[in-house]
């Protein structure tokens, strides 16, 4: 409740978003997007340092005006009548930033689905979206990996995904079947969600609480429970399949706005070599982090925060 929450009708959906006005005379507009099985809970302790760096020993010149929406179908946002993929969600978020909030330019940041949405913001909605910062590589170029390093990554990636792809296939093909079970069982939903946080985080000795508190996990789960949004949140996987999966551009176009990549070593989707990434993005900042996993804003907020600030300084 210490943050300011709003809803606004955007293209037929009531979008929920947190809006924190930044300190100083010129805070940069920044939209930060969560993923699945996260919610805006991922950012509750992250927003204030972004918006008010001087309260934490930082420079007020690094302040952001932070907008953190709940994805359509997630949490306190309205439920779409049919599945939406990340490209369509990017349309909603650009409308929120430009039409509703009136920004001429903004920076987009995200991990998980937020990384895909940020990518589409940079691809479809430049120059309003002037740059993106991502901590996951979800998009792909057309064609096969090139050279030994890319081919080795691709083979390793396929091996890694054998144990991680089951939920994704289910939610991309038959999400409603799963949803009836999850929405009728708080314990089942908690197990489904917490397993992802445990598997995808940079834990110590496979101890989830070495990274995430029980309170944080329960708060995130409760958002799904009280809003009854597990079903419509899982639709985003179906939406991406209907949009064309991971390929950004069959013609080989790329995101041309400046792109910062933050590589956390325990990321669910291991990063390809930079040569591969640069076929999708105009990479202007590349940071290999010493630790951290998929939920960077919760696991290593200091590392992520400083990387976003460093990138933004090149844009101000």
Active-site residue identified among 112, 202, 224, 281:
112
Q: Yes or no: say if 80 and 13 are a contact pair by the CB < 8 Å rule.
A: yes
Of 256, 301, 239, 306, nearest to 111 by C-alpha is 301
Cα distances (angstroms) measured from residue 90 to each of 33, 76, 256: 10, 18, 16
- Unique residue bearing structure tokens 């409603």: 176
Residue ranges per structural domain of the chain:
1-316
Dump pLDDT digits (tens) for 12-42: 999 999 999 999 999 999 999 999 999 999 9
Q: Respond yes or no: is residue 112 known to be catalytic.
A: yes
Handedness of CA 159, 109, 287, 202 (dihedral sign): negative
| Predicted local confidence at residue 1, as pLDDT | 74
Handedness of CA 294, 300, 303, 307 (dihedral sign): positive
Dump pLDDT digits (tens) for 112-160: 999 999 999 999 999 999 999 999 999 999 999 999 999 999 999 999 8
Interval 260-285 mean pLDDT? 97
Interval 290-308 mean pLDDT? 98
| Predicted local confidence at residue 7, as pLDDT | 98
CATH architecture of 1-316: 3-Layer(aba) Sandwich (3.40)
Q: Respond yes or no: is residue 167 known to be catalytic.
A: no
DSSP 8-state code for residue 247: B
Active-site residue identified among 224, 276, 294, 307:
294
Q: Respond yes or no: is residue 237 known to be catalytic.
A: yes
Dump pLDDT digits (tens) for 77-111: 999 999 999 999 999 999 999 999 999 999 999 99
CA distance 185 to 178: 11
Q: Strand, helix or coil at 20?
A: strand
Q: Yes or no: say if 157 and 276 are a contact pair by the CB < 8 Å rule.
A: no
Within 8 A by CB and 6+ apart from 285, the residues are 133, 258, 259, 260, 261, 307, 310, 311, 314
Dump pLDDT digits (tens) for 228-258: 999 999 999 999 999 998 999 999 999 999 9
Active-site residue identified among 224, 237, 276, 281:
237
Other Cβ atoms less than 10 A from the Cβ of 275: the count is 12
Where does the pLDDT of residue 164 fall: very low under 50, low under 70, confident under 90, or very high at 90 and above? confident
């Amino acid at each position: 409740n210490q943050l300011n929450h709003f809803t606004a009708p955007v293209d037929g959906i009531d979008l929920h978003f947190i809006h924190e006005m930044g300190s100083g005379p010129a805070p940069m507009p920044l939209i930060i997007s969560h993923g699945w099985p996260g919610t805006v809970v991922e950012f509750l302790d992250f927003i204030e340092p972004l918006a008010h760096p001087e309260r934490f020993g930082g420079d007020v010149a690094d302040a952001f005006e932070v907008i953190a929406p709940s994805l359509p179908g997630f949490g306190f946002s309205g439920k779409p009548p049919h599945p939406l993929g990340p490209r369509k969600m990017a349309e909603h978020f650009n409308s929120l930033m430009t039409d509703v909030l009136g920004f001429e330019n903004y920076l987009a940041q995200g991990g998980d689905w937020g990384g895909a949405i940020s990518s589409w913001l940079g691809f479809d909605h430049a120059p309003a979206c002037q740059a993106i910062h991502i901590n996951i590589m979800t998009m792909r170029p057309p064609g096969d990996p090139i050279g030994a390093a890319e081919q080795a990554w691709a083979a390793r990636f396929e091996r890694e995904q054998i144990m991680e792809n089951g939920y994704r296939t289910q939610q991309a093909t038959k999400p409603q079947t799963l949803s009836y079970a999850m929405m009728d069982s708080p314990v089942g939903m908690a197990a489904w969600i917490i397993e992802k946080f445990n598997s995808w985080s940079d834990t110590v000795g496979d101890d989830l609480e070495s990274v995430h508190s029980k309170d944080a996990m329960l708060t995130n789960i409760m958002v799904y429970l009280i809003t009854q949004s597990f079903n419509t949140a899982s639709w985003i996987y179906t939406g991406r399949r209907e949009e064309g999966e991971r390929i950004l551009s069959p013609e080989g176009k790329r995101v041309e706005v400046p792109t910062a990549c933050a590589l956390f070593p325990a990321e669910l989707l291991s990063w390809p070599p930079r040569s591969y990434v640069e076929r999708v993005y105009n990479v202007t900042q590349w940071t290999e982090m010493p630790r951290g996993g998929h939920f960077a804003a919760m696991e290593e907020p200091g590392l992520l925060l400083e990387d976003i600030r460093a990138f933004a300084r090149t844009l101000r």
